[in-house]
Amino acid sequence: MRRAPTVLLTALAPVSWGSTYAVTTELLPPDRPLFTAALRALPAGLLLLLLARRLPKGEWWWRSAVLGALNIGAFFPLLFLAAYRLPGGLAAVVGATGPLFVAGLAVPLLGQLPTGRYLLAGVAAALGVSLVVLRAAGALDALGVAAAVASTASMSAGTVLTKRWGRPEGVGPLALTGWQLTAGGLLIAPLAWIAEGPPPALDGRALTGYAYLALANTAVAYWLWFRGIGRLTATQVTLLGPLSPLTAAVIGWAALGQQLTPLQLAGMALALGATVLGQRPARSSGPGERVRREERPAPDAAARHGRSRRQQGSEAR
């Protein structure tokens, strides 16, 4: 199946994000979530802008700002706030409901009604993640819950809008990713300075951690993510998201000496099965056919140009 390589490459993004917790706790200075978010986003965005050598034009200035705010600028701070205030991985469980948020947003924004199979996969993925990460400890914090829900809604809306708007003609995912990371980083940086003060002193371990987060964990991972959104359906992409907390659990077991119980292993199997189920393309007819046409990737600029030339020649004849 030609879709399989795209799915596997896109899946590397949430797998990479699953390493964020271990890198943050083992290498980075404590209690600087906004500073860490800014150093993840802004250097990565500027690097991709340098490589792509393209800036937005026209309406893509404000579209890039909106997407950058949803996918990066709002998502990162809200996610960190939720993680700090909620017990036992509850923020990850709320995040695992992202496929259901996308299903709801896809109706008005993409004209797509979710299938029963997709809804089943979304519920099963959230349940599987909850079995892996939830711990019976602590009372719920209202602000933490609100931040977790808002972060999930923000990323889900960014994913659906990225699918709806696509990319300008002749612009690849590298430039689009650079625009969003730069916009998001510019939004986070002043917040980090106001809330956390000047940057801390960084040793070699911290510099190594930040370099990894900016390059592999953000620049490469988000490029793969937005590339996947352009080639797969929004529902397929978002159902890869639960791979992030599952990867974090595996890293905790393999590298940090944490234990995995039989119940957690069962949750992993359930979440992975739901992820695989969600990658199967829908087969329907009637109104659903319009949705599949909308979610197919647009022809590249060369193909469109070639058709235009042929059409002009046909009209001249």
Task: Tokens 């056919």: give the residue.
Answer: 289
Residue 1 in contact with residue 145, Cβ under 8 Å?
no
The pTM for the full model equals: 0.83
| Residue 295: per-residue pLDDT | 41
Crossing angle of helices 173-196 and 33-52, in 10° steps, is: 150
| Residue 56: per-residue pLDDT | 95
| Residue 253: per-residue pLDDT | 87
| Residue 282: per-residue pLDDT | 61
| Residue 139: per-residue pLDDT | 63
| Residue 292: per-residue pLDDT | 41
| Residue 309: per-residue pLDDT | 41
Tens place of pLDDT for every residue, the chain, 317 residues? 478 889 999 999 999 998 888 888 889 988 888 999 999 999 999 999 999 999 999 999 999 999 999 999 999 889 888 877 776 677 788 888 888 999 999 999 998 888 888 899 999 999 999 888 877 555 678 888 898 899 999 999 999 999 999 999 999 999 999 999 999 999 999 999 999 999 999 999 999 999 999 999 999 999 999 999 999 988 889 999 999 989 988 888 888 787 888 998 999 999 999 999 888 766 543 344 343 443 444 444 444 444 444 443 433 33
CA distances from 215 to 43, 181, 211, 268 (A): 8, 12, 6, 28
| Residue 68: per-residue pLDDT | 97
| Residue 296: per-residue pLDDT | 45
CA distances from 184 to 31, 46, 82, 122, 277 (A): 20, 11, 18, 28, 32
